[in-house]
Structures are given as structure tokens and as C-alpha cells.
Amino acid sequence: MAGATASVRYIDADVSDGAVVGVLELVDERLETIARTPLRAAEPAVVAMDPGRYLAIGYLPGQGRLRATLAVPDRSEAVLTARPAPLRDRPTWLRAWEYERRGWRPSRGCTIEESGGGNLDVTVIARRSARLTGVQVGTDTAHTPILVVPRDTPLRIAAGEEPGTWVVAPPPDAATTLLQLLFRGQLTLAGVVADDILLDRARAVAYVADPQLLDLAVGYYLLRIGDPRAADWVDTLAGQYPDSVDATVLWVTQQQYRAEPDESRIAAGLQRASFGELPFVAEGLRLLITGLVDLPDLHDTATLRRLRSYLAALHDGPLTAFTGADPDRPGTVLPYGPPPGEVTLIPNSPPPAPTTATAPSAAAETRAASAEARDGRTVEATALALQALSRTGFDGSTDFLEVTAEGVVVAATVAPGDAGGMDVALAVYVDNRPTADLTAQSAALTHAGGQVLGVFDDSGSVRFRGVTGGRWRVQLDRLATTLRLPVQLFALPLAGDSAVVYASGPVARPAETRIQLPWRGLRLVLRQRERRYHLEVAAAPVEEFLVTVIEYGTAASDRVVVIVPVPTDGSPTSSVVLLAGFDPRQPWHVSAPFPAAGLVGWPAEQVRSSVQAAVTPATRDTWRSLAASLSDPHRSTITSSAGQEQR
């Protein structure tokens, strides 16, 4: 009997709280399924289970799988976070139609708003007599198929799989999730969602945009698996939604399965369904055509030809969406440019915040202070999350982990590296979105083979390449602010913290510290020789002289410019310098490499001390080679200083 519980929560800024977005599966260490349950946005799925280690897998149609590990009861909570692709290349226009008994005509307009996750929410404004609406978006060179949905169904424009493409669909809920799973043939997972709806329909209706679509989705599921409950369910649908083509098609198909079908009622239903309106579930269109083909006396050739033209233009997906210039003219060739008639223009970028004053107002200063405070909290919370991630531990077989600290989610993905070892990618999410709060912050991953430095990009992501060892630790450091330099400095892992508890036990601080940098294959090797520290900066072959700045204190003398030489034979290159007064227990920093021509604006004294820090003859020769390409005073400064040898 289960003696504990596990809790898994799904976070997505673009989905209403409580909406069913997929199915959660929990498997044990033998990869045996322990439980399956609907996965709801923001609401934790709580499952009773025995103590042990488990893998939580979230199956989300259209988004793939999300994974997290659990260790019940010590670490029995996990968070799965959406990974939506941002809507970067937006469509420029939208065209909407509505369907009445007289046919399709342009709608009265639509509303377009920014969604919580950076996509666009659309609501078509249709006449009360309309039963269906059709929507299409695009640019001057490409556009989407025409999607058919019930009137008043909210829609969302999101990025497609390929750049410059879009997906128009209702936001995820139990109805759309069930239809997606059916379309993909995932009947076991679809059964989890359908059973949840049938268990408490009233609760399910409260979290969907269209109750009719919910009921129809269940009908299509029951009919697909041959469930005995299908007969009563579709009979109820036909009575509750008499004008729905989908309800009629389901009822007709169910009648055809009976031992003694009522052919006259079937014929009447098929005639009514083929009058002109389209099913808005794609499977309904296929069933309608199949029924008409089986009873050729019920239709004329033009009716079947019209329906088949929609089938030929149908796009993959659970809902009816087809290629065409307008809903009355489906076709297999995608036309270019906006369709004839009026279109609604879509802004290409989110609306900017209104600004009227040239000087900062009190409100602006308050917002800036709030943003600065938020950024600080983000850094602190991320540091806590990374500590928790380190306690969880990585190993070569782990492919995905997530931890949460104070509202910040850190997701770690581990995959085999192209150059050996493992690549570890971290992504940070704040308020369920990728964050730019960590831009230019540095993080260090310590492992048995050394340390790897990474720098966060503007989407809150950082990657460590070629990591080895069985136990890793991740540490976040702030950007260096002790000295004002014309280059950015990034925090390095403390040399005094090289002793880490690995899977095999404590490892004493080594005589040298190896650090891999995220630029041009650079790596640092810090070696202790008695009480002095030498630093070797090595790199993959480069085509021009590069320099990097090492800072390890607050004085100007605690800053060394290290030059990376250009190889003459294609072999790896390195420079060795003395870090006078270096304390391994104190913070130290490194800059991204930049062309040596950037030294022109540096003080001559700074260049002189850096040249004098050279330890090896090869390093001093590199400085002399660089001097030939510089003008005075740096040329004479380097030439006079390169003869002074450090030991």
C-alpha cells in the first residue's frame, strides 16, 4: 500500500489555470507505469505511491514530452514548464469569415490581443445567426490554411515548426487535448482524458472554451474505440445540438454500426449533414464522405465533388483546416498574398508602453527600482535553484531535470557532446517565461575533470560543453563590478573551491585548476608553484591576435592582459603569466576575448604590467610580434618591457 504522495505541477503562461493540457505518467526505476492522470495547468497532480525514485513524464500534444525526476518522500514535488517557441515572425494580416445557412461571408471583424506567453489571442466577431467561423492569417508571401471552428471559439496564433510559419488553433483545454491525442492515435492517453471528462463533466465544462466541442470530442473518442457508451452519448448529442453537422455525422455513423440500422433515418441525417455546412472536426468530414459513398442514391455528383475538394485540401490536424483563397474555394495549391476582401492588419511587434515625458518621472523611477529589485531576486533565486540542482545530482544517463526555488525554474538538459563528454544546457524561467534578467551573468559547472565557465544569453540560457565526471556542481556568479573596464568581466569559479564531493568521495584541492571558457575554445590552467600562481591561457587556433583580461583584486595591478598568439603551424596556442598577489579564496574574473587592436585606448602602465607578467619566452615573443602592429606609446612600451623575465 502506498505510504506517500508525489505532486507534479505544469506551468504555462499561455494556458488558463485548471485546463487539461496533456497526460502525466509516472514510471518507477524498472520503467513500469505506476499511474496516469490528466495534466492540468497550474494545478498539481497528486498521486499516492510507495517511497522510491520515479520519473514523471508529461505528454503534451504538439509540444512533445517534459520530464522530471522524483524521489519519494524526500523530493516528492516537481514542476514541468512549457517550452513555447516565441512568435518572432508575426503574420501581417488576418481574414475572418462566418457561415450561415445562406453560405460563407466576411465576418464583422475580430479582436487581437497579446497572450500571456507572447502569442496572439483572436476572437472573431460574428453575427448571432452564424454557426461557424473561418480564420486565416499570413503575409504577402505565405499564409495558413483556413481553420473552421464554432462561433465564439477563442483562437491563438502561435509559431509553427518552421520559421515564418504559424499555427492557428484554440488554446489548449480538455476538448482540444482529447482531439489532438485522437488525431495522433494515442488512444491510451486519450482514454485518460476522456475518462476524466466522463467522471465529472460539470467540472470539465468549467475549464473549456466551448462545451459543445468538449462533448463532440468525447463522442468521437467513444465511437473510435467502440465503447458501449457511444450509443447513448451520440443520441444525446444529436438531441442537444440538432444543428451541428458533427453531432449528426456521429449519430449516423453510430446507427450504421447497429445490427438493424434505420436506413431512412440514416439517409435523412446524411442529407441534412451534406447540405452545405462543414464539420469542424476533420474526422467528421471523412465519416460524412464515407457515409455518402456507401449510399449513392442520397446525393448528386456535385455534392460529393464539393466535399471531396475540401478533403483533398485538408491539412493535418484534428480540426478542419484546408488550403484555399476563401472557404468556398478549397484547393491543393497554396495561393500567395492576402485573400480578396478586407483584412485585419496585425502589428508586427508588441505595442510599446506609452511615453510622453523626456525626463524620468517618479513613476518611471519607481518602475526602474522595482525592475532592479526583481533582477536581484531573480539572481538570488536562480542561485538557490542551482544549489538544489547540484544536490539532485547529474549523471551520464540523466537527460532532463527541473528544480524550482522562489518561483524560478531551472531546467537542465544533458546530452552527449559532439567533442566527447556531455553537454549540459540550463534554461531559467521566471513567471513561466524565459528571462533576460540573467543576461551576461556567468555560471560555473565543476566536475571531476575541471571547471567549465558559461555565460547566460538574453533568453536566460547557458550551455556547458564537453563535461566529464560522475558528479557535477553548478554555481552562479554576478558580473564583476569592482573595476570599471571597457570590457565585460565574468566571474570565474573560486580556485579555493576546487575540492568537491564527487560520487567517489571527497577530492583534495588539486595543484592546478582547469577551467573551460565558452569562447573560441579558450581554457585556463591555474598552477600553484610554492606561493606563486601561474596562469596559462590556451586556445584553439586563431587567425588574429586576441587578448583577454584577468582581474583578481581591486587594485589596478591586480589586472593582467593576456595575449593569445596566432599559431604558425596550426597547433594549439597558449600564453603563461604570473598573477602576483593572487589569493585563491577571493573572487576573480575573466573577459571574453577581443581583438588586440582594442588595447589602443588602454593606459600604457596597464599594458606594461601585463607584458612584464609574461613567464615564458614564447609569451614575450608574442607581445613583441603584436608590438609591430601597434603605434606608440604602446609599441615602445611593449618593446621595452618584453625583455624583463618573470620566474
Looking at residue 277, its pLDDT comes to 79
Residue 241 vs residues 202, 248, 332, 570: alpha-carbon distances, Å = 18, 9, 32, 76
Residue-wise DSSP of 232-265: HHHHHHHHH-TT-HHHHHHHHHHHHTSSS--HHH
Which positions of the chain have pLDDT values less than 50?
Answer: 1, 351-374, 481-483, 497-510, 647
Summarize pLDDT for 382-420 with one digit per residue, the tens.
Answer: 777 777 777 666 766 566 777 777 677 888 888 777 767
Q: How far is it, in rounded angstroms, from Cα 15 to Cα 175?
A: 13
Looking at residue 24, its pLDDT comes to 93
Which three three-digit cell numbers place residue 209?
A: 472554451
Looking at residue 638, its pLDDT comes to 85
User: Average per-residue pLDDT in the chain?
Assistant: 79
Residue/partner pairs of 108-111 with CB below 8 Å, 24 or more apart:
109/344, 110/135, 110/344
Q: What residues contact residue 612 under an 8 Å CB cut-off, 6+ apart? A: 641, 644, 646
Looking at residue 508, its pLDDT comes to 42
Which three three-digit cell numbers place residue 594?
A: 577581443
H or E stretch at 182: helix 174-183
Contact at 8 Å (CB) between 169 and 122? no
Q: How far is it, in rounded angstroms, from Cα 432 to Cα 434?
A: 7
H or E stretch at 624: helix 617-627
Summarize pLDDT for 454-467 with one digit per residue, the tens.
Answer: 888 877 888 888 78
Looking at residue 187, its pLDDT comes to 93
Angle (CA) 65 67 68, round 5°: 165
Residue/partner pairs of 298-306 with CB below 8 Å, 24 or more apart:
298/267, 298/270, 298/271, 298/274, 299/270, 299/271, 299/274, 303/274
Q: How far is it, in rounded angstroms, from Cα 147 to Cα 136?
A: 7
Angle (CA) 378 379 382, round 5°: 80
Say whether 501 sits in a helix, a strand or coil: strand
67 phi and psi angles, rounded to 5 deg: -130, 150
